Chain A
Amino acid sequence: MLYSEKVMEHFTNPRNVGEIPDADGVGEVGNAKCGDIMKMYLKIDNGIVTDCKFKTFGCGAAIATSSAATEMIKGQPIETVMKLTNKAVIDSLDGLPAQKLHCSVLAEQAVKAALSDYYTKNGIDPAPILGEIGECAHCAQ
């Protein structure tokens, strides 16, 4: 298996690791049985994701995709963050090995789960906005 240099770089120096104690939205996806858990914390001011941190239990790709996703959404308006796709995460990392694609799905879902929590906390039903977040195909098996 071959990781791109970008993946290794994010793995070696992951960005935005940690927790935000007063986060406006927190999302956790994956499960320990499959070997991947991602937890994403968002700070949201005036519709902008001003800060973002993550904690991940998982393989090199899981850590790299979490790190890349936080970089991609930090400073962005919610409307943009909402549209983050796993494909964009993969592209930002110069690709992922085939058996690691599910890690990028988890990163997308972690961000959406955190947004969902933000909406719920603000009394807004997230379902019509974010759609079904669903389980990663890998974990659902």
Chain B
Amino acid sequence: MKQIYADNAATTFVTDEILGAMMPFLTGRFGNPSSIYRLGMDALRGVEHARKQCADAIGAKPNEIYFTSGGSEADNWAIKETARRLKNESGKNHIITTNFEHHAVLHTCQALEREGFDVTYLPVDERGLITAAQVEAALTDKTAIVSIMYANNEIGTLLPIAEIGEICRNRNNKVIFHTDAVQAVGNIHIDVKSQNIDMMSVSGHKIHAPKGIGFLYCKNGINLRNFIHGGGQERGKRAGTENTAGIAALGLAMEIATRDIQAKAEKVAKMRDRLISELSKIPASCVNGDLKNRLPGNVNLSFIGVEGESLLLNMDLKGISASSGSACTSGSLDPSHVLLALGLPHEIAHGSCRITINEYNTDEEIDIIIKEVPEIISKIRSMSPLWEDFVNGKDNAQRFFKWLSPIK
């Protein structure tokens, strides 16, 4: 059976080319970049080369890039240390974010609430969007940092980052604007200067570098405080002997991911649109997230009467790897906070399916998904008492009609 990997928002494989770029740093070029002899300098050269690749890919300067252990660390670092510094310096104690951020941002903000910060969680609308005007209205003289994701990891919606950045920049007392671009990078063109971004988090494993490497972009002129203390690596800002192999991989991954981005995005969006238009023909389904402002590779649908985890397990039996926002897959009682933020009823959120593709997926794979998923949905519905009630019009099913396509 052909294996189809359609969960690229969760992680990606390391390509041969990227693996090739990292191998020397595990073997011949294994030196510590802080060592003074040539072996050390050679490793340092690799790190600085990668730093330049990362900077070039987002329109930044190399000394604005700080390597981290991934997206989560970059989010924690940017938000916690900016908030704490501005509270110390000028008594600012307010943070603005959205209610559908990744947990790396949401839980960071919740931790800061316990330290005495006030956090505004801007509500996204039914399509999974917020406006720059919402941000503007929430700003106060006490606002230290605004952290708003570039693209959502579950429903793929794209937020008006440049506009939000401009609003923050135009505030007299200067509000720092951070964006979690983990899902956006490599999928849409990012230029931190023209898009008014002060700080930005990036993760390697979403763009074919390994897990455990990422970076924080921090604009020059912002006083960045340490999150991890210790040795003097990363210009004294982030301690820990550099993950040289991971850094080399990330540098090349950034270069490749941002190359010919337009053509790549168009090709992937075609496959996405085919998936969305075919799968949304399934009766009593809905597409989650705005269709226009959307990552090229994100497909997210819900099917009433179907529970997400059993859908995924059935897809896996057909060789297709995907994900869901059902409670069962989140390990908690509630379905994903992102789907609930859209206002979706629990019953519909439980039946969600996220398919995330990229340029390594093929039209043939899309054909297989389009063929298999409707059959799986029918099979699950045939044994679902919820579906039975729904079809019979019991369980005041009307409350779901607003969201769903007809039962037929």
Number of interface residues of B (CB under 8 A): 24
Interface residues of A in 9-27 (CB under 8 A from B): 11-12, 14, 17-18
Q: Which of A12, A14, A39, A57 contacts B307 (CB 8 A)?
A: A57
Do the beta carbons of A55 and B384 come within 8 Å of each other? yes
Most buried by B among A32, A54, A56: A32
18 more A-B contacts (CB under 8 A) besides A28-B385, A55-B383, A57-B384? Answer: A1-B331, A14-B383, A32-B346, A32-B347, A34-B327, A34-B333, A35-B326, A35-B328, A35-B350, A37-B386, A54-B383, A55-B388, A56-B384, A57-B307, A57-B386, A57-B387, A60-B328, A141-B333
Complex interface: chain A residues within 8 A of B350 (CB): 32, 35
Question: In the complex, A138 Cα to B333 Cα: how many Å?
Answer: 7
Do the beta carbons of A57 and B305 come within 8 Å of each other? yes
Complex interface: chain B residues within 8 A of A138 (CB): 333
Complex interface: chain B residues within 8 A of A37 (CB): 384-386
Q: List 16 A-B contacts (CB under 8 A).
A: A1-B331, A12-B317, A33-B346, A33-B347, A34-B327, A34-B346, A35-B327, A35-B328, A39-B385, A54-B383, A55-B383, A55-B388, A57-B306, A57-B385, A59-B326, A60-B328
Most buried by A among B328, B388, B395: B328
Complex interface: chain B residues within 8 A of A36 (CB): 307
Residues on B facing A (Cβ under 8 Å): 305-310, 313, 317, 326-328, 331, 333, 335, 346-347, 350, 383-388, 395
CB distance from B314 to the nearest CB of A (A): 9
Q: What is the interface of chain B mostly: helix, strand, loop, or mixed?
A: helix
- Name the CB-closest residue of A to B305: A57
CB distance from A35 to the nearest CB of B (A): 4
Question: In the complex, A36 Cα to B307 Cα: how many Å?
Answer: 8
Question: In the complex, A16 Cα to B260 Cα: how many Å?
Answer: 54
Residues on A facing B (Cβ under 8 Å): 1, 8, 11-12, 14, 17-18, 28, 32-39, 54-63, 99-100, 138, 141
Do the beta carbons of B313 and A60 come within 8 Å of each other? yes
Complex interface: chain A residues within 8 A of B305 (CB): 57
Complex interface: chain A residues within 8 A of B387 (CB): 57
CB distance from A139 to the nearest CB of B (A): 9
CB distance from A62 to the nearest CB of B (A): 7
Do the beta carbons of A99 and B331 come within 8 Å of each other? yes
Q: What is the interface of chain A mostly: helix, strand, loop, or mixed?
A: mixed
Complex interface: chain B residues within 8 A of A32 (CB): 346-347, 350, 386, 395
Q: A35-B326, A35-B328, A35-B350 are in contact. Are A17 and B383 (CB under 8 A)?
A: yes
Do the beta carbons of B310 and A11 come within 8 Å of each other? yes
Question: In the complex, A123 Cα to B109 Cα: how many Å?
Answer: 58
Question: In the complex, A66 Cα to B395 Cα: how many Å?
Answer: 22
Complex interface: chain B residues within 8 A of A141 (CB): 333
Question: In the complex, A56 Cα to B386 Cα: how many Å?
Answer: 8
CB distance from B49 to the nearest CB of A (A): 40
Question: In the complex, A58 Cα to B326 Cα: how many Å?
Answer: 10
Complex interface: chain A residues within 8 A of B388 (CB): 55
Question: In the complex, A63 Cα to B350 Cα: how many Å?
Answer: 15
Complex interface: chain B residues within 8 A of A11 (CB): 310, 313
Complex interface: chain A residues within 8 A of B383 (CB): 14, 17-18, 54-56, 63
Question: In the complex, A18 Cα to B385 Cα: how many Å?
Answer: 10
Most buried by B among A1, A11, A58, A62: A58
